[in-house]
């Protein structure tokens, strides 16, 4: 009972606040002085009465208090407050029955203070001595008042019960005040819970003391019953204590895990760095873990020895009593290794100086410890550290099995957490560094450069490209190319020094950040790098020449003006400086300058804003394209195709056009490649296909069978779901598949024919007409033409243009017509602009003609006008209307 809610002054090494130490010392002295004053007052009120028999009674009470102190069970240790059950109310109740105040006070002080001294809790002796005096003084005062109120000559059991119950309440209230003095803040609910628990346990213990005394003195042979009752009560409390110990162990494990997790999150938020990130944990975190283990075990000292890297020395953290200075830097391996650090395995060892082997006895002596629990922390490959717990405080018998289980489980969790942190550090290093050269990669360079540019805006980013990279890969293989990249990375590092941020972006591309530099300095550095990287690379018995091109951009450039630093820029430029500090933007500008240097044949070139206009225009086109389709800026034009020699209008080719509000009419060659690169070509294909099928359906409703041809991209041929989308569009618009022609370029098919074949076969099975566009411009199409499920070929217009003047072109066209017919394909000639070319094609047997001679690409409205003005209507064989081109 004297340790109900006892402030653990020795457990405050985390805070280690001298002011709080002084406050608690002053408070302890006040409690002791007040207790002595209360004891003097009660002694004057209740003078000593008794003879020599009180000596034997006092000795028995001392024995009783000592026994209950040693049978005490720990209930909770949280935040520097220790709360234990010690059954003190039982001998106190008996003392109220049979002994005067002075005897019970002396017996209680001898047992309580002696136990504290034996447990080496010297810094709590003053406070607990005063609290114990207060408990006995209050108990006898309440007992006397209640007994007087009840009346009677013999001690009344009710007065004894109330007096014994007042003692734990007194100690608990004093402890709450001590908690406040120590700077610990307990919520009202927690304080109420503590008082209520104390009251309940005090009721039980006081009841047992009163009932036991009454039964022992008033019932014949009642002693066995009393002993059985006390044994059962002690067993019940012991079981309760075991459950609460398990709960506390789980809480301790959870708290340790949370501390490691929080420190891991803080470490993960640090800038990209090397393997030293594993050690980037606050010492307070590790000290908190050590302190939590110490509290849980009730040890005098807990030592964490941690090794974050196999090549680094151990980092030592101590909670509790200080170690000798030579006990911090110990070697875990080798001939001079400390005995407790070179233990094999990862299970718990329990050493006592009295019975340990000489080497372990010497290690304990150096630590000034009588006993120790030692657990190695190991990963699968090496030692991560060691946990040591020295000297149990709260038991004379030392560490028990529960302590061994607790420290073993905690060490296992801690080893796993440390191994995970090491793995996290490795993964983080790999995520921000190039595996080939060890330099930063793009994300690592972005993170480090962003941090540096925030504090050093006057900096320059360089972008370097090794020009021989792809040639080496093609000629000698990627292994040789990697050797050149590694050698180039070393030369860059040697030229720039270790402190300059340097990254390999991809392939033979590198990036450099020159902090606090201007364009003049950057040009000098670029010249040095060109000279260094241009020297031939000796690889085995070869000597390989490699050129380099450099582009660079300043972080303090705005509106075409360069400033050495942001403070020298005009206020308007300085206001816009944060936007210019984006690393990706600087890399993009440096890349633009690099391309400009390649185009001009220079080795190094600085970025100027005019270079970015072309890329800005392309960026605007890509970002505005989807909205332009929705607003009608992007439209579909149609170019008619006629049959030869009948001149019947067979269909049209759908061609996309874009009238931009800022740039005017845009040719497809300008925006379609950008759209394909941005991954929007599927949306463009769907748009053109949908508009074209709507137009075909309109013609069908008027009795016209005019087909439409839509161009496909290479991306569509790689999409296995594309045929299903075409089938759905045909069904949605109720258009027969033979009225839809899908044109694919010869180069697109030949880029990956095996991948395109499944999609082509699925489209062919739908009944869609497949045409090979720009036929004749490829190199290997003839070998695959027989395998491709195509229905027609379109002769590239470059051959058709030269038919009238170039016999070679004429021969090529004739050969394609004959080849197509021999394979059963329809042959279409595009680019027909002259009557002579049309007549020659008709004479060769070409099936379809398309070109400016017939019509330019027309908008939907102009196409309708062209059909009315340039064609004649006739009834076809299937009762459909046939349009024939007029001469």
Q: What is the pLDDT of residues 352-368, one digit of tens each?
A: 888 889 889 888 989 88
Please compute the mean of the pLDDT values over residues 346-353 and round it to a whole number.
89
DSSP SS3 for 503: strand
**DSSP H/E element including 681:** helix 681-701
| Interatomic CA distance for residues 482 and 461, integer angstroms | 24
Q: Is the pLDDT of residue 736 over 90?
A: yes
Confidence of residue 755 (pLDDT cuts 50, 70, 90): confident
| Interatomic CA distance for residues 509 and 490, integer angstroms | 14
Q: Is the pLDDT of residue 258 over 80?
A: no
- E-state strands within 722-777: 740-745, 769-775
Find the DSSP H helices in 219-338: 223-268, 283-297
Please compute the mean of the pLDDT values over residues 17-40 and round it to a whole number.
81
Q: Name the region of 468 (left: φ>0; alpha: ψ -120 to 50; beta: rest).
A: alpha
**DSSP H/E element including 599:** helix 583-600
Please say whether the dihedral angle defined by the alpha carbons of residues 250, 256, 260 and 266, taken in this order, is positive or negative: positive
| Interatomic CA distance for residues 274 and 271, integer angstroms | 10
Query: Prior bond to 666 cis, omega within 30?
Result: no
According to DSSP, residue 736 is labeled -
Task: Specify the pLDDT at position 559.
Answer: 37
Beta bridge partners of 433: 440
Find the DSSP H helices in 436-518: 442-455, 469-476, 478-496
- pTM equals 0.47
826-830 vs 792-795, strand pairing mode? parallel
Name every residue whose Cβ is closer than 8 Å to that of residue 727 and which is 6 or more positions away in sequence.
766
Q: Which of 344, 345, 398, 337 is nearest to 373 (CA)?
A: 398
- Percentage of the chain modeled with pLDDT above 90: 13
| Interatomic CA distance for residues 815 and 826, integer angstroms | 14
Name every residue whose Cβ is closer than 8 Å to that of residue 106 and which is 6 or more positions away in sequence.
58
| Interatomic CA distance for residues 135 and 65, integer angstroms | 14
* Residue that is written with structure tokens 């005394």 in the block: 213
| Interatomic CA distance for residues 37 and 31, integer angstroms | 10
What phi, psi does 546 have (nearest 5°)? -140, 125
DSSP SS3 for 563: coil
Question: Please, are residues 516 and 506 in contact by the beta-carbon 8 Å criterion?
Answer: no
Q: How many of the other CB atoms lie within 10 Å of CB of 657?
A: 15
Q: Name the region of 348 (left: φ>0; alpha: ψ -120 to 50; beta: rest).
A: beta
Task: Specify the pLDDT at position 12.
Answer: 30
According to DSSP, residue 183 is labeled T
Is 188 or 474 the better-scoring residue by pLDDT? 188
Please say whether the dihedral angle defined by the alpha carbons of residues 743, 749, 754 and 756, taken in this order, is positive or negative: negative
Give 47-99 pLDDT, tens digit per residue. 887 777 788 888 888 888 887 776 665 554 444 455 566 678 888 888 888 88
According to DSSP, residue 704 is labeled B
Task: Specify the pLDDT at position 276.
Answer: 45
Within its chain, how far is the Cα of 288 from the centroid? 24
Please compute the mean of the pLDDT values over residues 864-869 and round it to a whole number.
90
Give 271-321 pLDDT, tens digit per residue. 454 444 444 445 677 787 888 788 777 788 999 888 866 667 788 888 888
Please compute the mean of the pLDDT values over residues 475-496 and round it to a whole number.
80
Q: Which of 4, 15, 2 is nearest to 182 (CA)?
A: 15
Q: Is the pLDDT of residue 159 over 90?
A: no
Task: Specify the pLDDT at position 879.
Answer: 64
| Interatomic CA distance for residues 818 and 718, integer angstroms | 31
- E-state strands within 483-547: 502-506, 509-514, 537-539, 542-544
**Tokens standing for residue 434:** 């190039």
Q: Which residue out of 69, 135, 321, 830 is catalytically annotated?
A: 830
Side-chain half-sphere of 71: how many Cα atoms within 13 Å?
20
Task: Specify the pLDDT at position 858.
Answer: 92
Name every residue whose Cβ is closer than 8 Å to that of residue 874 and which is 6 or more positions away in sequence.
881, 882, 884
Question: Please, are residues 400 and 413 in contact by the beta-carbon 8 Å criterion?
Answer: no
According to DSSP, residue 742 is labeled E
Task: Work out the mean pLDDT of the chain and round it to a whole number.
Answer: 78
What phi, psi does 645 have (nearest 5°)? -95, 5
Give 312-325 pLDDT, tens digit per residue. 778 888 888 888 88
- How far does the chain reach from its first CA to its final CA, in angstroms? 119
Task: Specify the pLDDT at position 275.
Answer: 43
What is 375-437 written as a DSSP string? Answer: EEEE-SSSEEEEEEEEEESS-TT---HHHHHHHHHHHHHHHHHHHHHHHHHHHHHHHHB-TTT
| Interatomic CA distance for residues 152 and 403, integer angstroms | 51
Please compute the mean of the pLDDT values over residues 119-124 and round it to a whole number.
63
Q: Which of 831, 843, 812, 505 is nearest to 645 (CA)?
A: 843
* Residue that is written with structure tokens 């002011």 in the block: 19
Catalytic status, residue 520: no
* Residue that is written with structure tokens 């114990």 in the block: 132
Give 419-472 pLDDT, tens digit per residue. 777 777 778 888 889 888 889 998 889 888 888 888 887 889 999 988 765 555
Name every residue whose Cβ is closer than 8 Å to that of residue 346 and which is 6 or more positions away in sequence.
375, 376, 377, 378, 411, 412, 415
- Measuring CA to CA, how many Å separate 206 from each of 154, 157, 170, 193? 18, 10, 14, 20
* Residue that is written with structure tokens 């044994």 in the block: 231
Name every residue whose Cβ is closer than 8 Å to that of residue 26 and which is 6 or more positions away in sequence.
none
Confidence of residue 575 (pLDDT cuts 50, 70, 90): very low
DSSP SS3 for 312: coil
Is 271 or 146 the better-scoring residue by pLDDT? 146
CB burial of residue 562 (10 Å; 0-12, 13-18, 19+): middle
Question: Please, are residues 434 and 513 in contact by the beta-carbon 8 Å criterion?
Answer: no
| Interatomic CA distance for residues 441 and 444, integer angstroms | 5
- Percentage of the chain modeled with pLDDT above 70: 79
| Interatomic CA distance for residues 248 and 242, integer angstroms | 10
Within its chain, how far is the Cα of 66 from the centroid? 55
| Interatomic CA distance for residues 580 and 589, integer angstroms | 11
Give 709-733 pLDDT, tens digit per residue. 999 888 888 888 889 999 999 999 9
């Amino acid at each position: 009972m004297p340790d109900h809610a006892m402030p653990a002054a020795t457990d405050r090494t985390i805070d280690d606040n001298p002011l709080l130490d002084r406050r608690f010392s002053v408070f302890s002295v006040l409690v002791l002085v007040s207790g002595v004053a209360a004891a003097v007052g009660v002694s004057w009120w209740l003078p000593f009465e008794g003879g020599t028999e009180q000596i034997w009674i006092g000795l028995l009470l001392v024995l009783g208090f000592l026994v209950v102190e040693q049978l005490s069970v720990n209930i909770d240790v949280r935040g520097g407050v220790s709360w234990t059950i010690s059954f003190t109310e039982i001998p106190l109740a008996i003392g109220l029955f049979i002994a005067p105040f002075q005897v019970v006070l002396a017996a209680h002080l001898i047992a309580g203070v002696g136990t504290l001294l034996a447990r080496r809790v010297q810094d709590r002796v003053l406070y607990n001595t005063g609290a114990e005096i207060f408990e006995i003084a209050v108990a006898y005062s309440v007992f006397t008042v209640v007994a007087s109120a009840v009346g009677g000559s013999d001690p009344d059991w009710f007065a004894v019960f109330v007096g014994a119950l007042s003692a734990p309440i007194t100690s608990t209230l004093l402890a709450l005040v001590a908690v406040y003095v120590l700077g610990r803040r307990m919520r009202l609910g927690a304080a109420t819970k503590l008082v209520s628990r104390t009251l309940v346990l005090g009721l039980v213990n006081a009841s047992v003391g009163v009932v036991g005394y009454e039964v022992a003195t008033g019932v014949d042979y009642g002693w066995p019953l009393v002993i059985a009752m006390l044994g059962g009560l002690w067993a019940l409390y012991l079981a309760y204590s075991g459950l609460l110990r398990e709960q506390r162990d789980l809480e301790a494990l959870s708290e340790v895990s949370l501390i490691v997790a929080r420190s891991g999150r803080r470490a993960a938020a640090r800038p990209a760095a090397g393997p030293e990130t594993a050690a980037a944990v606050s010492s307070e975190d590790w000290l908190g873990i050590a302190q939590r283990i110490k509290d849980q075990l009730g040890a005098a000292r807990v030592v964490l020895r941690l090794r974050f890297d196999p090549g680094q020395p151990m980092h030592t953290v101590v909670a509790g009593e200080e170690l000798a200075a030579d006990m911090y830097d110990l070697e875990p391996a080798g001939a001079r290794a400390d005995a407790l650090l070179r233990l094999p395995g990862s299970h718990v060892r329990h050493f006592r100086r009295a019975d340990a082997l000489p080497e372990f006895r010497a290690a304990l002596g150096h630590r000034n410890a009588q006993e120790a629990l030692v657990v190695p922390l190991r990963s699968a490959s090496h030692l991560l550290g060691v946990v040591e717990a020295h000297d149990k405080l709260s038991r004379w018998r030392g560490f028990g099995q529960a302590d061994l289980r607790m420290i073993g489980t905690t060490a296992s969790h801690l080893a796993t957490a440390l191994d995970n942190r090491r793995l996290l550090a490795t993964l983080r290093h790999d995520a921000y560094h190039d595996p080939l050269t060890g330099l930063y990669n793009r994300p690592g360079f972005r993170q480090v450069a962003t941090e540096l540019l925030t504090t050093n805006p006057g900096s320059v980013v360089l972008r370097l490209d090794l020009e021989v990279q792809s040639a080496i890969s093609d000629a000698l293989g990627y292994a040789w190319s990697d050797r050149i990249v590694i050698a180039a990375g070393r030369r860059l590092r040697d030229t720039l020094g270790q402190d300059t941020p340097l990254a390999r972006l991809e392939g033979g591309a590198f990036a450099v950040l020159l902090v606090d530099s201007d364009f003049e300095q950057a040009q000098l550095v670029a010249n040095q790098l060109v000279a260094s990287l241009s020297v031939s690379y000796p690889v085995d018995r070869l000597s390989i020449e490699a050129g380099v091109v450099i582009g660079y951009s300043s972080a303090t450039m705005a509106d075409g003006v360069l400033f050495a630093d942001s403070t020298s820029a005009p206020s308007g430029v300085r206001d816009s400086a944060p936007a210019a500090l984006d690393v990706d933007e600087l890399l993009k500008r440096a890349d633009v300058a690099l391309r400009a240097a390649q185009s001009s044949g220079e080795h190094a070139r600085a970025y100027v804003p005019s270079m970015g206009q072309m890329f800005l225009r392309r960026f605007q086109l890509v970002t505005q394209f989807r909205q332009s389709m929705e607003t009608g800026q992007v439209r579909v034009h149609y170019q008619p195709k006629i049959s030869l020699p009948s001149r019947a209008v067979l269909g049209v080719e759908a061609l996309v056009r874009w009238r931009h509000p800022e740039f005017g009419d845009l040719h497809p060659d300008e925006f379609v490649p950008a759209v394909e690169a941005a991954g929007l070509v599927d949306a463009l294909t769907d748009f053109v296909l949908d508009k074209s099928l709507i137009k075909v359906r309109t013609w069908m409703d008027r009795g016209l069978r005019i087909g439409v041809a839509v161009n496909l991209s290479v991306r569509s041929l790689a999409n296995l779901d594309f045929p299903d989308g075409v089938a759905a569009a045909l069904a949605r618009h109720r258009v027969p598949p033979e009225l839809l022609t899908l044109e694919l370029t010869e180069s697109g098919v030949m880029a990956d024919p095996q991948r395109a074949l499944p999609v082509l076969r699925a489209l062919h099975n739908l009944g869609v007409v497949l045409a090979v566009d720009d036929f004749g411009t490829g190199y290997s199409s003839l070998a695959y033409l027989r395998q491709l499920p195509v229905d027609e070929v379109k002769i590239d217009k470059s051959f058709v243009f030269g038919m009238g003047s170039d016999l070679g072109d004429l021969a090529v066209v004739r050969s394609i017509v004959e080849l197509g017919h021999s394979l059963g394909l329809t042959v279409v000639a595009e680019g027909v602009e002259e009557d002579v070319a049309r007549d020659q094609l008709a004479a060769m047997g070409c099936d379809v003609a398309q070109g400016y001679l017939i019509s330019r690409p027309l908008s939907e409205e102009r196409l309708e006008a062209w059909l009315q003005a340039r064609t004649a209507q006739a009834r076809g064989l299937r009762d459909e209307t046939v349009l024939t081109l007029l001469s």
